[in-house]
Structure 1
Amino acid sequence: MKKFLINLGLLLVVVAALMAWTALPWLGVAALAVALALWMALTRSGRQAGSVTAVGVGTLRQRLGSSSVIVIGIAGVVGVLVALLAMGQGFQATLQSGGRDDTAIVLRGGSVSEAQSVLTRDDIDAIEQAPGIARGGDGKPLASAELVVTASLHKKGSDDDANAQLRGVDDTAWALRPKLKIIAGRTFKPGLNELVVGQGAQREFAGLDVGDEVKLGRQGWKVVGVFASGDAYDSELWADRQEVAAAYRRGNSAESVLVKLTGAAAFEPFKAALATDPKLKVEADTTRAFFARQSETLAKTIRVVGITVGVIMAIGAVFGALNCMFAAVASRAREIATLRAIGFRSVPVVMSVMLETMLLALAGGLLGALLVWLVFDGYTASTLNGFTDVMFQFKVGPALVWTGLKWALAIGFVGGLFPAVRAARLPVTTALREL
């Protein structure tokens, strides 16, 4: 019963330590590292722990195979976890980078995306007259009624079809998106079946080079330009809204209205004016908030999948570390017993085994993070956002690398704790009799 309670208490300590570790910022970890270094330098027990750790690390060459299991296993955990989180972060950054605080998007009330919204000509006219909208040099409001439809295209190097987003825009759409630049060809001319395509869509789909003809809906369209914006618009095709509406039989309707405000402070009065207009049933939001909401669901799903896969792999890595460290403790039983017999206490023995395991875990974490950074940082991929493909880049930043290293050290902590406790509990007389 006593042994069971001790083991239960140890398990509770592990759970509490892991919960505290996950919430610890890098400054807290740095403080812990400094405290450990001071303990090892200034106390007798610390110096003993350093001596035993040095002996253990010195024998790693003799245990190269088992030590490699720990390093490679943890590198795999960190690599998979950081890669999946980088995917979610890259997707979220791509969508959110198209948002601003001084531009607003207006949809039909209750709509969560442009595809679910329908605005009539009267709605569009009323929105454009709302207060707070900036005006161009010609005195007209900087507002663009926009229509989004799904276009089926062939992927490059494949016979598979995929959906791209075709956006019909008004002339003012360019002024509302200052980051968007034509990098090849020219803009489309209103009244003609002409397209400009995002650089991401051009890389992903066949037949979108300048001068190509592509069939969308029931009509043929000529690609006349390529644009770059560095956000989700790179995945789209743009054309004149009236031509898109005619090709897809949408009449004179739109799905959203994008407006340029006189400033970020003008949003609340603009929103209030729309809400108090009895003829309108619309909802307005800043484009920054709108795009953040659009990316939230998929990014959260990717994070959940990444953490779930990481936990499953981490459990396997923990068992691998436990197995290797138990074997290491067993092979050094006489050595540990001798140290204890000549005056080394249990704490230095426990700390030495823990430090050895966590050093191996740190090596595995650094290896996994380095491989992911070399392979995936800036890697371009695509995923479905609703019914259309969105191109984005993986982003392996310092924060994700730090997350991976924290996971690696947590695995090392759990994998080394139980073998360390066993080493400290091993009776000296029993260990000295072992060959």
Structure 2
Amino acid sequence: MSTLLSQSVAVIKMNLQSLPRRLWMSLAMVFASAVVVAILLAFLAMSKGFEATMQSAGSDDIAFFMRTGSAAELNSSTSKEQFNLIENAPGIMRDEQGPIVSPELYVIVDGVKKTTQQEANIPLRGLGQRGVDMRKGFTLVAGRMFNPGTDELMVGAGVLNQFDGFELGQEIRFGKYTWKVVGVFSTGGNVFESELWADAKVIQNLYNRGSSYQTVRARMESPDSLNTINEYLKSEPRLSHEVQSESAYFAEQGKSLSYMAIFGWVISSIMALGALAGALNTMYTSVSDRAMEIATLRAIGFSSISAFIGTMVEAMTLAGLGSLVGSLAAYIFFDGLSTSTLGGSFTQVVFSFRLTPELFVNGISMALIIGLVSGFFPAWRAARVPVIVAFQSGR
């Protein structure tokens, strides 16, 4: 075993020292692996960032009520009578002002993206102070809260970052109505930063919603209260609503961009096949270039296994270097990159690409698979180089 180990180390050293003779082909293998890794990580970071932006908005102690069958807030509706029934449900926390509930509206308005100058949908949420207080991580970045009963609104930091015309003090026209931006808020980078907030009753009036709302949020006495509330909804025939924790709702919404991760794997796998073809060519050339050296080592007693191991390590080293280059490129160009895309309610969700250690492991694994497959067959050829080649080459 010690002999095989020492022989393998010697062959590995010889192979790596000979890389400058095949510099451009070796760099091509490194580059191909790097591109595959970078593309894969870009798609995975996009999916992970969107998922994190959605999920981080939810709280386990907030009950979220929607009309049964509604896929998103935009499709839900809640009458004034139904809201009164919901706020009196058992398990909802109360304080000196009464039940801690937030009836909310959700309408779509237009914004112009800074990057493309094209119009895109932005959610305008109607809520009150209760609703603001329920958003974990809420901070007022600039300006102030909107005054109830006025045409004032607050802008999420994500909207301000991605869309034109929402700076503090600006007046914005949506259809026939003009609003004034009086505040900018942050909620720690989650999905609520992709919204505009205004007084719910003003939106009811301007958008002809009467006394109705769309969804209701309620702070529960404990996460276990969800079962009690659910039983209440089932027993009340005047309610056609279902309830879930806010965290569960956003976890489900976060899956809407999970196809990007699948798409990334498919695209990267196709690209990996192309990289694999080039890598095989590189490694076969490497074995051919070192045929005399391999045969000479065999002639002086080196085993065929050491030749196999040496070639495999060479291939894995080049692929590993490619994975590091690709990971570094993805980190520099994509990690933290802010963008927006359509969410579950056909409105723009602003989010940042998010690279995690788990994703880097996926990228490196992809590159090492390329190295493993591209190294195996050339390594098998290296192990079978006849000893006589050393003497033929020496003539």
TM-score (norm 1): 0.87
One-letter amino acid of the structure 1 residue matched with residue 91 of structure 2: G
CA offsets, 1:267-317, max 9 Å, x none? Answer: 22122211221221111010111000001121x211111101110111111
- What are the within-5 Å matches in structure 2 for residues 237-386 of structure 1? 237-298=196-257, 300-386=258-344
One-letter amino acid of the structure 2 residue matched with residue 320 of structure 1: G
CA offsets, 1:318-370, max 9 Å, x none? Answer: 11110000011011111111212222222111111000110111111011111
- What are the within-5 Å matches in structure 2 for residues 19-418 of structure 1? 43-138=2-97, 140-156=98-114, 158-230=116-188, 231-298=190-257, 300-386=258-344, 387-418=346-377
CA contact (8 A) 1:144 1:172 kept: yes
CA contact (8 A) 1:103 1:259 kept: yes
Specify every segment of 5 or more residues in structure 2 that has no aligned partner in the other structure, as ranges. Answer: none
SS at 2:133's partner residue? coil
CA contact (8 A) 2:167 2:181 kept: yes
Structure 1 segments of 4+ aligned residues over 3 angstroms from their partners: none
The CA distance in 1 between the partners of 2:152 and 2:199, in whole Å, is 8
SS at 1:321's partner residue? helix
CA offsets, 1:125-161, max 9 Å, x none? Answer: 11111011111332x1111111111101222365421
The CA distance in 2 between the partners of 1:119 and 1:75, in whole Å, is 52
CA contact (8 A) 1:105 1:258 kept: yes
TM-score (norm 2): 0.96
Q: Percent identity?
A: 41
- Which of the pair is proportionally richer in helix? 1
CA contact (8 A) 1:217 1:247 kept: no
One-letter amino acid of the structure 1 residue matched with residue 385 of structure 2: L
Greater CA drift, 354-363 or 384-393: 384-393
Question: RMSD of aligned C-alpha atoms?
Answer: 1.4
Specify every segment of 5 or more residues in structure 1 that has no aligned partner in the other structure, as ranges. Answer: 1-41
SS at 1:76's partner residue? helix
The CA distance in 2 between the partners of 1:434 and 1:418, in whole Å, is 23
The CA distance in 1 between the partners of 2:340 and 2:117, in whole Å, is 17
CA contact (8 A) 1:333 1:432 kept: no
Greater CA drift, 232-241 or 382-391: 382-391
Residue 385 to residue 261, structure 1, CA distance change in 2 (3 Å): same
* C-alpha deviation, 1:434, in angstroms: 4.8
Count the aligned residue pairs.
Answer: 392
